[in-house]
């Protein structure tokens, strides 16, 4: 399930925030971020996960999140030019055993996060 938001700022400004895990707690559900060997230890009310980016291409912020149970979730995350600034899109992947309601709740959380990113970057 794809979730998108348009941010009325240049792509580079959006990438400067969205591509920096240390800043994730200011706009995502993550409450803490710590650089560790091989990625970032991310903390939320659901527990601790390991995040690592999987691409070095401009505008591509794809990453993997390893959950506490060892499940790895691939997260396609892009920032591309838009006539009004930048479009941010994140594909919410269904995890094994996840119900439709849980998947929809994850997508709703991502929509909330992207709205917070837009507010942060637009000031």
How confident is residue 95, by pLDDT bands cut at 50, 70 and 90? Answer: confident
β-strand pairing of 85-91 with 2-7: antiparallel
pLDDT of residue 44: 94
Cite the beta strand spans of 63-108 per DSSP E.
63-66, 72-75, 77-82, 85-91
pLDDT of residue 106: 94
How confident is residue 75, by pLDDT bands cut at 50, 70 and 90? Answer: very high
pTM to 2 decimal places: 0.92
Mean pLDDT (the chain, rounded) = 95
pLDDT surpasses 90 at 96: no
Q: Which residue has the tokens 């959950």?
A: 67
Cβ pair 54, 63 in contact under 8 A: yes
Residue 30: which residues within 8 A CB-CB, separation 6 or more? 24, 42, 43, 44
The count of other CB atoms within 10 Å of the CB of residue 12 is 11
Helix-strand-coil split of the chain, %, nearest 5 = 30, 35, 35
Crossing angle, helix 11-18 and helix 100-122, to 10 degrees? 120
Q: In CATH, what class is 2-122?
A: alpha beta
Q: What share of the chain has pLDDT > 90, as a percent?
A: 92
Q: Encode pLDDT of 28-63 as tens digits.
A: 999 999 999 989 999 999 899 999 999 989 899 999
- Cα–Cα dist 100/108, whole Å: 12
Question: What is the gyration radius of the CA atoms in the chain, in angstroms?
Answer: 14
């Amino acid at each position: 399930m794809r979730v998108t938001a348009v941010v009325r700022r240049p792509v580079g400004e959006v990438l400067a925030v969205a591509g920096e895990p240390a800043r994730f707690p200011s706009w995502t559900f993550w409450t803490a971020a710590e650089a560790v060997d091989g990625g970032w230890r991310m903390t939320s009310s659901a527990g601790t996960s390991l995040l690592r980016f999987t691409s070095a291409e401009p505008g591509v912020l794809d990453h993997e999140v390893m959950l506490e149970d060892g499940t790895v979730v691939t997260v396609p995350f892009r920032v591309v030019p838009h006539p009004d600034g930048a479009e941010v899109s994140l594909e919410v992947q269904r995890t094994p055993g996840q119900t439709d309601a849980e998947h929809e709740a994850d997508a709703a959380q991502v929509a909330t996060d992207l709205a917070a990113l837009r507010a942060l970057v637009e000031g």
